Amino acid sequence: MISLTGVGKTYPDGTVAVQELDLDVRRGELVCLVGPSGCGKSTTLKMINRLIEPSTGTIRIDGADIMDQDPVKLRRGIGYVIQAVGLFPHERIVQNVMTVPLLYGESKATARQRANELLDLVGLNPGKYGRRYPHQLSGGQRQRVGVARALAANPPVLLMDEPFGAVDPVVRVRLQDEFLRLQRELDKTVVLVTHDIDEAVRMGDRVAVFAQGGRLAQYATPAELLADPADEFVADFVGSTRGLRRLTVTRLDPGHLEPLDGVRTGDLGAAIDLDSSLEEALAAMLREDRGMIAVKDGPRFVGVLTPNGVHAALRASLADLENERESAAERPATPAPGPDLEK
């Protein structure tokens, strides 16, 4: 869906913000750009919608070169969410969300209906919040309005620059969960900039780690990134607790559960869902102060998870990554296309 080939940005004073960047984002994928301050991640995001013009290389969205498109029309077709939200302070919330549909020529009635639907989608009752002004909302609520406004034109691509960075940690987790729910429902192609590695591995289908000087240090799934950092910089950035972070990206598997034999379901206490992460499972186990936690698939108990099961699941995830690497290494390279003999 989004393809960056040899993309670089060098400013007139010689500062290199991004260098020779090759990056692809598949349709419906959520990719996180993460790295220290000044590493070029926000510059990369802004080059995708031409808020910053690239110095070299090619950026394509759905196969079309962005440099062949009118920048204003290009931006209207891309949702954009920033940390500061950027709501119009003297307009009511519903009017803020109506802005983009009105720019596209929609009637006020249609734009208002769309705005109300989107406010409801992001968890803000339009009857309660639609007539308020931005200053009457909390930071987290304003951020939700920013997401609603970015979705107002139903764009296929959504760019997000530190969207949850200005709110407190508890609200941030709730917003992350809410956005992941929206992403599963709407299936947008999302590029999200963050400085927080925990946010990146929690939210991203893939994570691009940038180093100083605008160099792409590693581009991988969260599980690959945590299990096998590409170099010392990535290992240091991910941190010494990356083993614990792997708990957030490893899902439960029925093969790692102990059977219910001899265990009465009434004695199990709280239960977790089969689609939980190991982090959620371990947290529940500690809350219950038990040596095991019950696991349910819908209404049905399917087994119990013990600390041995957690360990087995982590070892299995590493083995799966190793098998994937070996398969990729053995896969024959795609041959270059030959000449067209019909010409």
CATH number at residue 315: 3.90.1280.20
Burial grade of 24 (CB within 10 A; 0-12, 13-18, 19 or more): middle
- From 193, 226, 246, give the residue that closes a domain: 246
**Structural domain boundaries enclosing 225:** 2-246
Q: Is 342 a member of any domain?
A: no
The three-state DSSP-derived secondary structure of 263-304 is CCHHHCCCEEECCCEHHHHHHHHHHHCCCCEEEEECCEEEEE
**Number of domains within the chain:** 2
For residues 114 and 104, give the distance between their C-alpha atoms in angstroms, rounded to a whole number: 13
Angle among Cα 292, 296, 302 to the nearest 5 degrees reads 80
Per-residue tens of pLDDT for the chain, all 343 residues = 899 999 999 999 999 999 999 999 999 999 999 998 889 999 999 999 999 999 999 999 999 999 999 998 888 888 888 876 678 889 999 999 998 888 878 889 998 998 998 898 888 899 999 999 989 988 888 888 888 888 887 888 989 888 887 677 777 787 888 888 888 888 889 999 998 888 898 889 999 999 988 999 999 988 888 878 889 999 888 875 666 667 777 788 888 888 877 666 666 677 888 888 888 887 887 787 777 788 888 888 888 888 888 777 777 776 766 666 666 666 665 554 444 444 3
For residues 140 and 168, give the distance between their C-alpha atoms in angstroms, rounded to a whole number: 9
Which tokens sit at 117? 């639907």
Same domain for 242 and 262: no
CATH number at residue 24: 3.40.50.300
Angle among Cα 219, 223, 224 to the nearest 5 degrees reads 45
Q: Is 336 a member of any domain?
A: no
Q: What is the reported pTM? A: 0.73
Same domain for 161 and 96: yes
- From 223, 246, 269, give the residue that closes a domain: 246
Same domain for 161 and 35: yes
The DSSP secondary-structure symbol of 102 reads: H
For residues 227 and 209, give the distance between their C-alpha atoms in angstroms, rounded to a whole number: 14
Same domain for 156 and 255: no
- The SS3 assignment for 239 reads coil
Same domain for 237 and 324: no
Q: Is 337 a member of any domain?
A: no
Q: Is 340 a member of any domain?
A: no
- From 246, 272, 307, give the residue that closes a domain: 246
